[in-house]
Amino acid sequence: MNIRAVRKYVSESWDKALTQLKTPTFSLPYSFVPPCLNGEFRVLYYWDTYFTNVGLLADGRTELALNNVNTLLYALEKFGCVPNCVKENGADYASQPPLLGLMIRDVFEATEDETWLAEAVAGLEKEYNFWMRERMTEIGLNQYGGNTNNEALLCEYYDYVATRLPLPLNIGVQEKTVRAKNFLAEGESGEDFTPRYARHNALDYVQIDLNAHLYGVEEFLCDYYRDKNSSKSEQYRQQKERRLHLLNTYCYDTERGIYFDYDFVAKKRSNVISAACFLPWFYGFGVGRYGLKTVFARLFGGNGVYACEDVGDQSYQWGYPNIWAPHQYFAYEALHRNGLTEEAEHLAKGYMNLLATAFEKTGCLWERYDDNGVAPSLEYTTQEMLGWTAGVYNHFYKKTFD
């Protein structure tokens, strides 16, 4: 296996992937690096971009990472949220996990441009307000959702999902719209689709990953304003502490030491361990290390962490035994930041070896894997990938060899 051959392929591929979007009705002011060199994903997807940028910054491609973030900020200003993907109708349906703050932090660390940072933070606050206004539940925590109540759009989305999942088509419009709203929420998590919701009822839940991300945004804004606007800093500190209290109340299982999604309709925690359970430790509020060790032990198969534990149904893209780049990144950082360096190294080396083995056979990287290499197609054809796969590989390579 030639680990360095993959690194060389990644470094040589960024410029080949670079593209622009200019149409008679919708154009973007910046070029950007989409997830794919070729294939279906040639527009800028929201949460993918964070991991792409991790790889770009590891290669010293700061300008490309900056343009990616500026593209998302431009879309935020135009649509009122960062859309699922940056195209003319990209915000019609949903957003994606709010990783804009992490991207802003990383780009600023590379540029040290205070003027840009101030403008970017203003955008981040706008996005934060979107999540607090549009995705709030009765228990005070946030959930994934969707952007439309339009009956025709919802029925159209349901029919699209039915091309990927075994769903009935001969149901009424009202049932289609209700189901479609839940599918939109599931898709907004970035995990379309996942056994985290056995009945595809994502709107019954507050999700641990989303609320962890928003905790991170509140912490970032609290720190940013500490020497600039003490009242704003205190506001974000209070919101962060309130969120932590609610997460510990609803999502934290004291016996298992793990944070789970919470079904606020049924008033019970999920008991499904998924890669989302790493996020409290990624953001530094996870209690102790026992739960983190448990999550890792349940999800690590030697070549990476699975999207979800085995629940007896392998028909989900974002379920067992599939191995996705974003989960490897969050798991690795959670382990490393909490002193579990040996486990973190096993994860990074296993994932790099998996990708290098598949690269020797195929000559490229892929959207997702399983323990045998390139994962079989589920819901749609497994895509040749650059994006997050390359980004996380670069991150692990830098941590391991540089």
The phi, psi pair for 384, rounded to 5°, reads -60, 135
pLDDT for 267 beyond 80: yes
Please report which confidence band the pLDDT of residue 39 belongs to, taking 50, 70 and 90 as the band edges: confident
pLDDT for 309 beyond 90: yes
Mean pLDDT of the chain: 97
| pLDDT score at 324 | 98
pLDDT for 198 beyond 90: no
Cβ contacts of 305 within 8 Å, gap of 6 or more: 275, 278, 296, 299, 323, 327, 328, 331, 347
Nearest to 390 by CA among 21, 33, 19: 33
Extract the tokens encoding 175: 């049932």
Q: Region 240-268: what's the mean pLDDT?
A: 98
Cβ neighbour number for residue 376 with a 10 Å cutoff: 12
Q: Region 346-369: what's the mean pLDDT?
A: 97
CA-to-CA distance for 321 and 234, rounded, in angstroms? 43
CA-to-CA distance for 195 and 308, rounded, in angstroms? 7
Bridge partners, 32 (sequence order) = 19
**Strand duo 252-253 + 268-269: pairing:** unpaired
SS3 sequence, the chain? Answer: CCHHHHHHHHHHHHHHHCECCECCCCECCCCECCCCCCCCCCCCEHHHHHHHHHHHHHCCCHHHHHHHHHHHHHHHHHHCCCCCECCCCCCCCCCCCCCHHHHHHHHHHHHCCHHHHHHHHHHHHHHHHHHHHHCECCCCCECCCCCCCCHHHHHHHHHHHCCCCCCCCCCCHHHHHHHHHHHHHHHHCCCCCCCCCCCCCHHHEECHHHHHHHHHHHHHHHHHHCCCCHHHHHHHHHHHHHHHHHHHHHCEECCCCEECCEECCCCEECCCCEHHHHHHHHCCCCCCCHHHHHHHHHHECCCCECCECCCCCCCCCCCCCCEEHHHHHHHHHHHHHCCCHHHHHHHHHHHHHHHHHHHHHHCCEECEEECCEECCCECECCCEECHHHHHHHHHHHHHHHC
pLDDT for 1 beyond 70: no
What single letter denotes the amino acid at residue 348? A
Interval 298-308: pLDDT, tens: 999 999 999 99
Place of tokens 């790099």: 352
| pLDDT score at 38 | 87
| pLDDT score at 2 | 87
pTM (2 decimals)?
0.98
Extract the tokens encoding 22: 């200019």
CA distances from 236 to 49, 122, 128, 223, 261 (A): 26, 14, 11, 9, 23
